[in-house]
Structure formats: structure tokens, C-alpha cells
Amino acid sequence: MNIIVCVKQVLDPDIPPAKFRVDSASKKVVPPEGIPPVINPYDAQAVELALRLKEKHGGKISVLTVGSNGADKVVKHAISMGADEGVVLSDETFEGSDSFSVAYILSKAIEKIGEYDLVLCGRQAADWDEGLVGSVVAENLGTSLVTLAEDAEAVDDGLKVKRVTLDGYQVFVVPLPAVVTVSNEVGQARLPSGLGIISAARRQIPVWKAEDLGVDPSLVGSTAARRKLFALSVPARERKCEIIEGETPAEAATKLAVRLREAGAI
Amino acid sequence: MAENKGVLVCGEVVGSKVAAITAELLNAGKKLKDELGQPLFALLIGKDIEEGAKEAIILGADKAYTIEGPAFPDALPEIYVSLVAAACEKLSPSVVIMGQTDMGRDVAPRLAAKLKTTAVLDCVALEVDPDTKVLLQTRPAYGGNATAVWVTESQPQIATLRPRSVAAAQPDTSRKGEVESLSIGIDDSAVKGKLAETVKAEAEGIKLEDAKVIVAGGGGIGGAEGFESLKELASLLGGTIGVTRVPCDEGWLPLTLEIGQTGRIVAPDLYIAVGISGAPQHMAGCSGSKCIVTINKDPDANIFKESNFGVVADYKQAIPAFIKKCKELRSS
Ligand SMILES: Cc1cc2nc3c(=O)[nH]c(=O)nc-3n(C[C@H](O)[C@H](O)[C@H](O)COP(=O)(O)OP(=O)(O)OC[C@H]3O[C@@H](n4cnc5c(N)ncnc54)[C@H](O)[C@@H]3O)c2cc1C
Ligand SMILES: Nc1ncnc2c1ncn2[C@@H]1O[C@H](COP(=O)(O)O)[C@@H](O)[C@H]1O
């Protein structure tokens, strides 16, 4: 089974909240110094699912990312996990693209690769948390689509995919090629192996530009975006915390109960 | 291009009644209707939805459209999408809203792709900019670290609304409105896969979303056994338990109890957070709680900043004493 995984580089979602800043005037997130961006965790999980499918059914795993300088790092991360190859899709004209343009660029690259059975995306990119790109790629390619997968396996008539729902799950059987978006329920992504890291570091990751892909410049970049940011802020979630103290943890907890009773909370 | 007009609520039905989210969408839709000065439509797809359509009118729709067809979740999403897309082409609404539900989060992006527009998912507020009349779509981003307000520059403007972010519309039985059945056939060429199975895990006890009291445990609990005391506390207070991502990853408790950005969004009266550091992805799911109480042994844990009451302690000593005192207080 030949699998293409779309991976995005994002601001590390595990940064301490105190380090997260936005510039409301320019409506931009200010990347914290000294904290390098990472592969979107859901995309690492998509690579994980791809690796499990490859272990069972054979085939090749290619990864694609739309990004600028340094985006080869996430491709290398996927390769160090066990993916076979990858490409960075990068062009000045791509700057400021929205989900639809990114999906368009990815679809062009997928068509250029040509031979594929399955495209895996993350359920959402942990920066803007939009959850759109995978569905749009499927629409562009005209393939079947299952969102929010927690598991998948190849069957005679295609791919059997378990989709997470709020109170359970659904099982779909879809013909290949298909696009599947992967949810965190697939489980933790494996860490890159030492050997994987060394061999990935040596790899030269090819870059495909707009003209290599046959991308129409009027359909990408900020001018083509169908949605624009109107405002960006950090939500005010702070509360005034009353710390209840005591000689011992037990005493503090006892006082807490009394205080909550007074406050009418219990 | 003809001008798009009207706010279209894509409803969901449970049996013959509209789902709770649909009543919320209709309430949100009523506000948009007033702000835009455009009519409010409801669209219901399913079998025997006549009653639901009338209910949608009582809840504020000016007109309800029905399509006789397979209802979500039994329908394949691609069929559902093709029906909604056909309805949108017929009605040319300027705004389409659906719930951030199993249906909406799957259908909205596909619909947007089909209609060559975009979708803004999981909105917590929707309003119309008085100057430009565009829809301001507010949603969390960056795992709850940020709040983004998006505007859509194509038509229709499609958004999904997070359940319980708006109150349900109140019924007004004096309202009158037309119900029209749209005859849209199912496009068989849209059908790609098949739905083999739908499994509902019956939630035991109180649903997290309905709970008035939640005792939530995190990585600090250290193992499945540690949750016994939290369960005891929860049942004493008439509530239920929830968890952060860590206990799920560790296999101590199932993911169905996860609270947060990718888990459940809860807003109980009382949220007791035990051994939880307060990552934004978790707080995104519980910050609507009326009162947040934290027990954590690290005085610098972020969660204290977002709590009303806190005790800096090891939960192993604190919880038994807390339970004991609660019992005393309750019996007195
Ligand atoms: C894309 C993405 C999505 C995510 N979505 C979610 C989500 O939906 N929900 C979610 O919960 N998480 C989510 N996470 C994970 C989240 O970022 C945090 O990693 C997680 O919430 C941390 O859980 P925790 O606070 O229980 O554990 P930790 O961060 O490990 O904190 C444990 C806390 O327990 C305290 N502690 C330890 N021992 C004791 C003791 N004996 N007594 C008292 N206190 C003690 C420690 O001081 C510490 O503060 C997501 C992460 C990513 C990257
Ligand atoms: N710039 C990108 N490069 C490659 N894949 C992407 C990019 N942006 C989004 N994706 C894929 O689409 C998924 C959903 O992203 P989004 O719709 O932006 O939340 C991600 O998990 C990735 O798999």
C-alpha cells in the first residue's frame, strides 16, 4: 500500500501557557524564543498509522509538507520514524495561503507523485486547529474520505476505517484511493530511532516549487484566501485563587471543605 | 453572482424531535437574522421529519425545508453532503450554520469544498459585524491558547457552533411558517464507501456534559488505583469523574472521559482538579466551570492561576481528609 502523509510544522503545543503571546495589532502569534517548532502531533500520529499499515501490508510511505525555511525538519522527523521519502512544497507565492490553498498545493503534489492508495492527514493542525485540509484534499482528488480515524486496515474491497464519534465509533469501508484524517485515538506516535535520526539527517529533502507542481498562482497566497483573521487575542481565563493553607495536607483539605461549604459550592 | 440571502440552520433530529443543538442553532440564527435583516431557514434531512420541521418553526425558523432521505449518522456523509450542497445551491443562503457534532465537523469542511467556500469550525460565538455585515466567527486556536475571530470572504459563510455555547431557543407556539419538502434526489455517483457499523458506547451514570460536579484527575494521580478515591468523592458530591489526556495515554482510564480541546467540553458548577497541571488544551475543556478547585502538590502549577480555590498538597493525603469532612458537613 503506497501511502502519502501530509505533515505540518507547528509551534510546539506543549509550550508553557505563559510563553504564548500574540501581537493583537498585527494579528500574529509571536513565536517564543528558543523553542523550536515541531511536527504537528496529529501528523506524527498519521505517520504512526502509516507505519503500522506498511508493517502489515507493505508499500511505501512518502511525506509532504507545505512550508518555508526549516520545514524539511518535519519531513526528516517522519523519515526518522520510518517513512521512506519526503518533499517540501515551498514557494514565495504560497505565503499566507489558507486551508483551501494548502489543500490545493498538496493535491497537486499528490497528483504529481501519482501512485498512491491512501493519503493520511492529521485531524487538525495544532496551531490553528482548523480541521479542514484533509477533507478538501479528498474533494480535490475526488477520492473517498473518512475523518477522525482511530484505526484502519486494508480489506478486500478497500480500507476499513474506525471513525471516532462522541459516544462511540463508526466503521466505514471505503474504496482506495482514499483520504483519511487521523485522530489522537490511534495512540502515541513512536519516537524516531537513533539510526533513523542519523540516516534522516543525511538526507537531502527535495523542494518542489509552484512551477514544478503546475500550481496556478492566483489560487494560492494571502490574496486567494477565502477567510481572513479579523482579531486574535489571548483569552482571559485567570481567576483569583484563594489558597487554603493548613499545618498538614489533611488539615488544608479539611479547611477547603469547610470553605467550599460556606461558598455554597458543595 | 446572485446575492446570497438568509441564514440556514442545518438541523439534526432525534426521533421526531429536533436535537438540543438544533434549538441552540436556531437561537444563534435568530440573532443573526435580526443583525442581518435576513430570513432564518431550517433544513432537516431524514425520515418522518415533518414534526421536527414544525418544531423548528416554533423555535424561530421562518421557513423549514425538509429532504426525505437517510438521516445522519446512518447516512454516508457523502450522501448527506450532496443533499445539503444541493439545498444550498437552491436556497443561496449567505450563512450556513451547523453543530460541531459528529455530523457538523465531518460535513462542514466537505460542504465548503463542494461549494467553493470555506468553513470555520467549532465556533463559540457568532455575530454580524454591524459595519460590513459579515459574520464574525469566534473560535479557540492554538490549543486554547488563543481566541481567533475569522471572517469568510466567500459565500456562503459556513460555520459550526460548539454545543452549549448558546442557550436553546424558547418555543413560541404562536409562530407560523411554511414547511417545504425539497425534492432533491440522491446522487448515486457521490456514494463511495459504505457504513458498516455504528456503535454507541452507553455512558455509565451521569454524562460529563450534564454533570453539575466533576472530579477530574490527571497525571499526578499516578495510576488507575488512585482514581478510586476520586470516584468516591465524585459520587459523594453527586457528580462524576473526568480525566486529562495523560491517564488516557497511560491506559488508566478510557479516552471517553477525556476533558479538553479534543475531548469533552464541560461547564459544571464545581470542577475539582486533582493532580492536573493546567495545560491550555485541558483548560479549553473546563474553563467554563463556575467554580474550579485545585489540589496539586506543585504551588507553581499553571492551574492555580485559573482556579477559584486551591490547596497545595499531595492528593493522597488531601482527598481522604476532604472526603471525611464533606461527609461530616453533609450529615450535619
Ligand atoms: C494537540 C494536543 C491536544 C491535546 N488535547 C488535550 C485534551 O483535549 N485534554 C487534555 O487533558 N490534554 C490534552 N493534551 C495534553 C496537554 O497538553 C497536557 O499534556 C495534559 O493535559 C497534561 O495532563 P496533566 O495535567 O494531567 O499531567 P501533567 O502535566 O503531567 O501534570 C501532573 C500534575 O500533577 C501534579 N501532581 C503530581 N503528583 C501529585 C500528587 N501526588 N498530588 C497532587 N498533585 C500531584 C503535578 O504537580 C502536575 O502539576 C493535548 C496535547 C496536544 C499536543
Ligand atoms: N502546511 C501543511 N503542509 C502539509 N500538510 C498540512 C499543512 N497544513 C495542514 N496539513 C494537513 O492537514 C491536516 C489538517 O490541517 P488543518 O486543516 O490546517 O487543521 C494536518 O494535520 C496536516 O495533515
With cell 535520526, the residue in question is A197
* Helix or strand (DSSP H, E) at A122: strand A118-122
Instruction: Give the closest residue to A148 by CA, choosing from A119, A186, A183.
Output: A183
* Helix or strand (DSSP H, E) at B240: strand B240-243
Q: Which residue of B has its CA nearest to A242?
A: B309
Estimate the crossing angle of helix B77-91 against helix B104-114, to 10 degrees: 50
Q: Is B5 exposed, middle or buried (0-12, 13-18, 19+ CB in 10 A)?
A: middle
Q: b or e along B178-198 (b: 16 or more beta carbons within 10 Å of the residue's beta carbon)?
A: ebeebebebeeebebbebeee
Question: What was the pLDDT predicted at B1?
Answer: 45
Cell triple for B285: 475543556
Could you read off the pLDDT tens digit of each residue along chain A, which spans 266 residues? 999 999 999 999 999 999 999 999 999 999 999 999 999 999 999 999 999 999 999 999 999 999 998 999 999 999 999 999 999 999 999 999 999 999 999 999 999 999 999 999 999 999 999 999 999 999 999 999 999 999 999 999 999 999 999 889 999 999 999 999 999 999 999 999 999 999 999 999 999 999 999 999 999 999 999 999 999 999 998 999 999 999 999 999 999 999 999 999 99
Which runs of consecutive H residues, i.e. helices, occur in chain A?
Answer: 41-57, 72-81, 99-113, 133-141, 194-202, 210-213, 249-262
Which runs of consecutive H residues, i.e. helices, occur in A38-191?
Answer: 41-57, 72-81, 99-113, 133-141
**Within 13 Å, how many C-alpha atoms sit on residue B141's CB side?**
27
| Ligand 2 atom 6: residue of nearest CA | A8
- Closest CB to A266 among B270, B279, B280: B270
Q: Which ligand has its closest atom nearest to the C-alpha of A38? A: 1
d(CA A143, nearest CA chain B) in Å: 8
Atom number, ligand 2, closest to the C-alpha of residue B109: 17
CB B28 within 8 A of CB B143: no
Interface contact B44, partner A, CB < 8 A = no
Rounded Cα–Cα distance for residues B193 and B197 (Å): 12
Interface contact A30, partner B, CB < 8 A = no
> What dihedral do alpha carbons B13, B17, B21, B25 form, nearest 10°?
100
Model confidence pLDDT, tens digit, residues A65-91: 999 989 999 999 999 999 999 999 999
**Within 13 Å, how many C-alpha atoms sit on residue B158's CB side?**
28
| Ligand 1 atom 36: residue of nearest CA | B220
Question: What was the pLDDT predicted at B2?
Answer: 58
Q: Which ligand has its closest atom nearest to the C-alpha of B248? A: 1
Q: Is the CB of A66 under 6 A from ligand 2?
A: yes
Could you read off the pLDDT tens digit of each residue along chain B, which spans 332 residues? 458 999 999 999 998 899 999 999 999 999 999 999 999 999 999 988 999 999 999 999 999 999 998 877 778 899 999 999 999 999 999 999 999 999 999 999 999 999 999 999 999 999 999 999 999 999 999 999 999 999 999 999 999 999 999 999 999 999 999 999 999 988 788 888 999 999 988 767 899 999 999 999 999 999 999 999 999 999 999 999 999 999 999 999 999 999 999 999 999 999 999 999 999 999 999 999 999 999 999 999 999 999 999 999 999 999 999 999 999 998 87
Q: Is A6 exposed, middle or buried (0-12, 13-18, 19+ CB in 10 A)?
A: buried
Question: What was the pLDDT predicted at A185?
Answer: 94
ipTM, interface predicted TM-score of the complex: 0.96
Interface contact B251, partner A, CB < 8 A = no
Cell triple for B305: 492561576
Question: What was the pLDDT predicted at A188?
Answer: 93
Q: How far is CA B212 from CA B241, B286, B289, in A?
A: 11, 12, 9
Looking at chain A from residue 2 to 21, which residues have their Cβ under 8 Å from any Cβ of chain B? Answer: 11, 13-14, 16-18, 20
Model confidence pLDDT, tens digit, residues B241-283: 999 999 999 999 999 999 999 999 999 999 999 999 999 999 9
Model confidence pLDDT, tens digit, residues A44-73: 999 999 999 999 999 999 999 999 989 999
Angle, CA A77 vertex, CA A71 and CA A80 arms, to 5°: 145
pTM: 0.96
